[in-house]
Structure 1
Amino acid sequence: MGFEVFDKRMTPLAKAPSVTIQKRGVISLNKAAHDLVDNAETVELLYDRERQIMALRATDDSSPHAYAVRAGSKRGPGQAIVSATAFTAHYGIDTTETRRWKPFVEDGMLCVDLTEAGTVITGNRTKTTAPTQNAEAAGAEEAAEDIDAVASQEDPVGDDTTDDS
């Protein structure tokens, strides 16, 4: 395998806010972006069709449109996850590739301009690796967190698969 040039756009600076929409419609916020919505535990998802801007607005869990914001990591503050599959499907938001944007704040909402291409994010999960002979290494691989698994945990608040009509 040859050398690969590191593209610094692939990894945001820790202090710069970023919002990522993953292939399955999961929205993840880095710590800086989550701070911009006051580290909300629940949010409402909004969309401006004319401007093609997606927004997250902090709300309390009593809101009928509240989505739970889950921690993306058990290792402390970091990514915050919102399961938004129905939202992205309803508005036709492209989820064929994982993309990251630099958000902005408007009227107290965390906004993403979807007319901008965003940065395509590629991970190493699809790469094939040789089977590990070392049991300790295998245990570490099993312990690695899968962000999609965290996002798909059952939770009545923010579970966009329920029908409240």
Structure 2
Amino acid sequence: MDILEGFETYEKQRTSPGAPPQVTLQSRGIFSLNPSAFKVMGSPRYVELLYAADRKAVALRAVAEETQAAYQVRPANNGGAFNVAGRAFMVFHGIELNDSRRYSPQHAADGVIVIGLDSDPYVTLHATRRKAKGADTSEARPSDEGSEG
């Protein structure tokens, strides 16, 4: 009998397997999907970005590479999240954020995630980048309006 019989190798994970789908919309226009959100979408290589102005909602839909409006999904540097560059999309639709927001979308299924920019619960993430040595470190932080959910 092998001494390791019955053991399973633990695969490193940045989030727990049961973590809910979350999408962080960074103030500079990057959509960052946690592993659960990426999986709910079917682990796509490409997505389409859609906007409903009347609902103030953004949707990400998994699409094939040859789709005209396809955006590539890239693994983030941290190894856990997946990013979509959406700066031009945000500028075109006039979506402005002072700080990044981590959303818990109310709809995440069948290759589609819908984010209600004002209606879905979110947490405001304040910038944590260090300022250059000798720079003014005082900064006014906006209130967390809308972060109650």
In the superposition, the TM-score normalised over structure 1's length comes to 0.63
Give ranges in structure 2 of 5+ residues lacking alignment.
Answer: 1-14, 134-149
Q: Report how many aligned residue pairs link the two structures.
A: 116
Question: Which of 39, 44, 60 is equivalent to 2:43?
Answer: 39
State the Cα deviation string for residues 116-161 of structure 1 (Å, max 9, x = none). 37211124323678xxxxxxxxxxxxxxxxxxxxxxxxxxxxxxxx
2:60 alignment partner AA: L
Identity level (%): 33
State the Cα deviation string for residues 22-76 of structure 1 (Å, max 9, x = none). 121111000011111101010000111111110000011101100000000364x
Contact 2:24 2:100 in 1 (8 A): yes
- Give the structure 1 partner of residue 74 of structure 2: 70
Question: Which of 82, 86, 89 is equivalent to 1:87?
Answer: 89
State the Cα deviation string for residues 75-99 of structure 1 (Å, max 9, x = none). 4xx1000000011111111222111
- The alignment yields a C-alpha RMSD, in angstroms, of 2.2
1:25 alignment partner AA: G
C-alpha separation in 1, matches of 2:110 and 2:39: 15
Question: Which of 98, 112, 116 is equivalent to 2:115?
Answer: 112
Moved over 4 A (4+): none
- 1:21 maps onto 2:25 in alignment: yes
C-alpha separation in 2, matches of 1:101 and 1:18: 6
* Bigger proportion of residues as helix: 1
In the superposition, the TM-score normalised over structure 2's length comes to 0.69
Q: Which of 1 and 2 has greater Rg? A: 2
Give ranges in structure 1 of 5+ residues lacking alignment.
Answer: 1-12, 130-165
- Give the structure 1 partner of residue 103 of structure 2: 101
C-alpha separation in 2, matches of 1:37 and 1:112: 13
C-alpha separation in 1, matches of 2:78 and 2:123: 26
* Bigger proportion of residues as strand: 2
Contact 2:37 2:108 in 1 (8 A): no
Contact 2:42 2:111 in 1 (8 A): no
